[in-house]
Structure 1
Amino acid sequence: MISAYIDFIRIRFLMMLAYRVNYYSGIIIYAINIGAYYFLWQAIYGSQESLAGFTVPQMTTYIAVSWMARAFYFNNLDREIANEIRDGSVAVQLIRPYSYLLVKMMQGFGEGLFRLLLFMVPGLFIVCLIFPVSLPKEPTVWLIYAVMLFFSFLINSQINILTGLFAFFVENNEGMMRMKRVMVDLFSGVVVPIAFFPGWLTGIMQWLPFQAITYLPSSVFTGRTPIKEAAGVFGLQALWFVILLLPIWLIWRAARKRLFVQGG
């Protein structure tokens, strides 16, 4: 049974490989985004050496790493699930001898591996050639960040699965998916690091899972969060992963009791 789930990873990877040209162009788009934010933050810093605990080199690295990490953990599982619910194909999936949600997670991971190898890694290499990105030299930092990046994928995928499952109840959750995407990009720290948010909003963000997707791992990678505190950051990611399992299970349990097909 485990090998069957691994096959879903392989199949999705090969499927993404067929459209690799789109992702090569995506590298250019991400590089342009990083360049725009780089020059914006250069103007904001001006002659100041540090803002909100970020030095200029740290901010440059944070921008590059955060956007390239997004290339790995980003997926459209919410849209896939919603589409399968609307066209009725989810009914066929439910009678098959495997976990529907686990299959979706494996498919998302297959897509993530493709993005990691053919988008994130070459994209980061190109960005480092263009902008003054300071990558850490300690292998420990890279190892810790790799584990944190994996949990970023898990948490983001859980949020996507939750959003997609709401299609069982609202029939058309397009608006919810768009709102979710904006919230993840903004509140995870991709657009603006959470340290720059107002104090009251930062306090609220500490009780939400979004910071565990980008801000916390990138802070460790850039050195803003000392390596000795990395265990606490990883623990917070693991905690959110466990917490999000509960609403997914509850919504999935309720959804299976009220499934009706709108077409197909």
Structure 2
Amino acid sequence: MKKYLGIARVYMKAQLIWRADVFVDVILSVARILFAWILWSILFEGKEQIAGLKFHTMISYYIISSYLFQMEKSAEISQQMTGMLRNGTFSKYMVIPVQTQGYFVAMEVGKLAFSSGIGFLATVLWFCLFRISIVHTVNLKILLCGIIMVVLGLLFMAQLNYFLGILTLKFEEISTFLMIKDNLSAVVTGAVIPLALLPEWMIASMRFLPFYYVTYLPSMLFIGKCEDEAVTGLLVLSIWCIFFIVLNQVTYEHYRIKYDGAGI
């Protein structure tokens, strides 16, 4: 465990070097929230609520979901793995005395520890600047479930991107897989629009997918909605995380013998 904490600490310190990247992420997150503010101000004109959500509830959802969406940067794992496998520099991760999957998850934790703090300050600033009456749950158990779900969701996304990175050993070019993953997760996580606006049959089908529990459901729990789904969400997301831990290990052990350490 100390080795993985050491890895996380190194990458957290490395973020201090690339502060401009974090600043740009915060600006993009702010721009997204500003766009949502303008759009929903127009849509709520003369209306009390839309899809069961009042204006301040909707904006609270967008600010919270934008923060969670901004936290999730594990796509860098698959991109980094693909680059190293293709240019023949992945060998160093195969000989260090840590599990490869654990290394990249610890790397993501280190990056997250820094960016999440900056993002949280930006989120609080938004509520203060626009004097938004933040809507939140007062149920501590639901709040705890939401926090645990966020952690599991970040773990799942790191594992998913690690799995896609491993596929480079088989297919060499995985840009198609990454494109499908990015488009699917952007919609199903509720990062584009709240899923409450979609037909019920569509939402029901999404509940079987882990993406539903990464951003959308935790955000809804934090604003006091969908509280009856909290326990089920934790169970489903835990199963998906365990599944990918096993899948990643099996896939890596199967394909790593095909890696010759040479670039292309």
TM-score (norm. length: structure 1): 0.90
**Structure 1, unaligned runs of 5 or more:** none
* RMSD, matched Cα: 2.1
Is 2:133 aligned against 1:129? no
Q: Distance in 1 between matches of 2:42 and 2:246?
A: 44
**Deviation readout 1:83-108 (Å, 9 max, x if unpaired):** 12112222221122210110000000
1:154-165 map, 5 Å:
154-165=155-166
Assess, with a 3 A threshold, how the Cα gap between structure 1 residues 82 and 21 changes in structure 2: closer, same or farther.
Answer: same
Is 2:171 aligned against 1:170? yes
More divergent stretch after superposition (254-263 vs 216-225): 254-263
Q: Distance in 2 between matches of 1:200 and 1:225?
A: 16
1:87-236 map, 5 Å:
87-118=87-118, 120-131=119-130, 132-136=132-136, 138=138, 140=140, 141-226=142-227, 229-236=229-236
Assess, with a 3 A threshold, how the Cα gap between structure 1 residues 222 and 241 changes in structure 2: closer, same or farther.
Answer: same
Deviation at 1:219, TM superposition (A): 0.9
**Deviation readout 1:191-228 (Å, 9 max, x if unpaired):** 112222234432331221111110111110011123x6
Is 2:83 aligned against 1:83? yes
Q: Distance in 1 between matches of 2:19 and 2:169?
A: 32
Deviation at 1:146, TM superposition (A): 2.5
Counterpart of 1:257 in 2: which secondary structure? helix
Q: Distance in 2 between matches of 1:143 and 1:38?
A: 28
Partner amino acid, structure 2, of 1:99: Q
Deviation at 1:28, TM superposition (A): 2.2
Deviation at 1:241, TM superposition (A): 1.5
Partner amino acid, structure 1, of 2:199: P
Deviation at 1:139, TM superposition (A): 7.5
- Structure 2 match to 1:44: 43
Q: Distance in 1 between matches of 2:27 and 2:250?
A: 41
**Deviation readout 1:22-65 (Å, 9 max, x if unpaired):** 31233222111111022212323332323333222221111000
Assess, with a 3 A threshold, how the Cα gap between structure 1 residues 201 and 94 changes in structure 2: closer, same or farther.
Answer: same
Q: Would the aligned equivalents of 2:137 and 2:221 in 1 still touch at CA under 8 Å? A: no
Q: Would the aligned equivalents of 2:15 and 2:114 in 1 still touch at CA under 8 Å? A: yes
Assess, with a 3 A threshold, how the Cα gap between structure 1 residues 82 and 133 changes in structure 2: closer, same or farther.
Answer: farther
TM-score (norm. length: structure 2): 0.90
Deviation at 1:12, TM superposition (A): 0.4
Q: State percent identity of aligned pairs.
A: 19
More divergent stretch after superposition (239-248 vs 60-69): 239-248
Deviation at 1:137, TM superposition (A): 6.7
Write out the 4+ residue segments of structure 1 that deviate beyond 4 Å after TM superposition. none
Q: Distance in 1 between matches of 2:60 and 2:42?
A: 16
